[in-house]
Amino acid sequence: MQSIGIIGVGSYLPEAIISNAEIGHGAGVSDEWIVRKTGIHERRRAAPHEATSDLAVQAAVRALRSAGLTADQLAYVVVATSTPDHPQPATAALVQHRIGAKRAAAFDVNAVCSGFVYALKAVQKLLAGAEAAEPRYGLVIGADVYSRILDYTDRRTAALFGDGAGATVLGPVAPGLGLRDISLVSRGDAHHLIEVTAGGSRRPPSPRTLTDGDHYFRMDGRGVRDFVTRALPDETRRLLRRAGVPADAVRHFVPHQANGIMLAELWPGLGLHRAALHLTLERYANTGAASVPVTLAEMHRRGAAEPGDLVLLAAFGGGMSLGIALLNWSMDPPAAGARPTVPRLLAADDRVAPVAP
């Protein structure tokens, strides 16, 4: 089958920067408490007129420009989100229309914060099996606006999330480059760990659900940590064995930006001793399905990865879901002088989350 890889990246973070002090006031916690518990210093918030599709469109345009393609060359537009503009139609349909991707099929994927990796596998398989005469490019976007579903009096969740969108363009790449293997795991028996209990067909909106705050995001932080601590290392080792790749061969690790302290605790046990850990949560917090592609875009802008470098992506989220992808990087670094300042890399032997002021 044709090798499919990432040939363009882009991201969009809203302009409004929300400090820990602003978040902490409503939740009854301090800036110091938020940094100590999460490693997060600030996050972005969508403007009142911005919905998930607006962020996704901005990231999509930038990714297409990065790939040197026009929207009418796309065969697929897929948006991974758990905060769609509305229940229907799919947010991807709005994005497809606004960017002018007239030949593309458009659909959403909801695996919560793992959604981008799930969508990546779907589009990879669709493109790899396409007929030669068909368009051979797909746009995979992760986008979320969590600011609209947070209870800002809940200190367990209020500080963790930000709004943003990240996009990648997938297309044919040279043999030896591109996506090598993707592992998807679902644990429906643990679905209660992350949820928004009202607003769907089981509990439609009503005065009671509004009064009770059941449209807000809720999370069992301890349960999520236990799931990730068990599942992520095991599935990472399983995927690397299946791919025949030693852990020391991985050069870059791009995880879901859930919580800097949790990632710092997980990092040493993954065995990726020669990999750089890429983090953006200091500035952007947890942007849901956007966090992996946003961080990928930052990695590329920094010029950190060279063609052929082994990159491991890992995302986890509600459901419970887990998605891990192994790829050989397929983009040249940006030209010298075109690399803006981005959050630093952690060395593989660092033991603490980055918490620079």
Tell me the whole-structure pTM to 2 decimals.
0.91
Q: Mean pLDDT for the chain?
A: 90
Distance of CA 219 to the CA centre of its chain: 18
Omega within 30 of 0 (cis) for the link into 320: yes
Residues in the chain: 357
Give kind and range of the element (H or E) at residue 327. Answer: strand 321-328
Q: Which pLDDT band, with edges at 50, 70 and 90, does 26 fall under?
A: confident
Q: Would you state the pLDDT for residue 135?
A: 62
Domains of the chain in start order, with CATH, are 4-176 (3.40.47.10), 179-346 (3.40.47.10)
pLDDT band, very low/low/confident/very high, at 214 (cuts 50, 70, 90): confident
Report the pLDDT averaged over residues 166-184.
95
Which residues are catalytic, by number? Answer: 113, 256, 286
Distance, CA of 349 to CA of 79 (rounded, Å): 35
Q: Provide the token pair at 172.
A: 């044919």
pLDDT value at 60 more than 50: yes
- Residues whose CB falls within 8 Å of the CB of residue 91, separated by 6 or more in sequence, listed in order: 52, 53, 56, 79, 81, 84, 85, 108, 143
Mean pLDDT of 168-179: 95
Res 44 pLDDT > 50? yes
Q: Is 169 exposed, middle or buried (0-12, 13-18, 19+ CB in 10 A)?
A: buried
Integer Cα distance of 197 and 208 in angstroms: 12
pLDDT band at 343 (very low <50, low <70, confident <90, very high): very low
pLDDT tens for each residue of 61-117: 999 999 999 999 999 999 999 999 999 999 999 999 999 999 999 999 999 999 999
pLDDT at 88: 94
- For residue 351, the SS3 value is coil
Report the DSSP pairing between strands 194-195 and 218-219: antiparallel
Residue 344: CB atoms within 10 Å: 13
Distance, in Å, from the CA atom of 10 to the CA atom of 294, rounded to the nearest integer, reads 7
Token readout for 181 is 């293997």
Look at residue 344 in the predicted model and tell me its pLDDT: 35
Burial grade of 284 (CB within 10 A; 0-12, 13-18, 19 or more): buried
Give tens-digit pLDDT for 237-279: 999 999 999 999 999 999 999 999 999 999 988 989 999 999 9
> What's residue 340's pLDDT?
43
Q: Is pLDDT of 342 > 60? A: no
The mean-pLDDT minimum among 107-111, 148-152, 157-161, 342-346 falls in 342-346
How many Cβ atoms are within 10 Å of 338's Cβ, its own excluded?
A: 9
Residue 132: per-residue pLDDT: 60
Burial class (CB in 10 A: 0-12, 13-18, 19+), 240: buried
- % the chain with pLDDT above 70: 92
Report which residue type is found at 59.
Answer: A
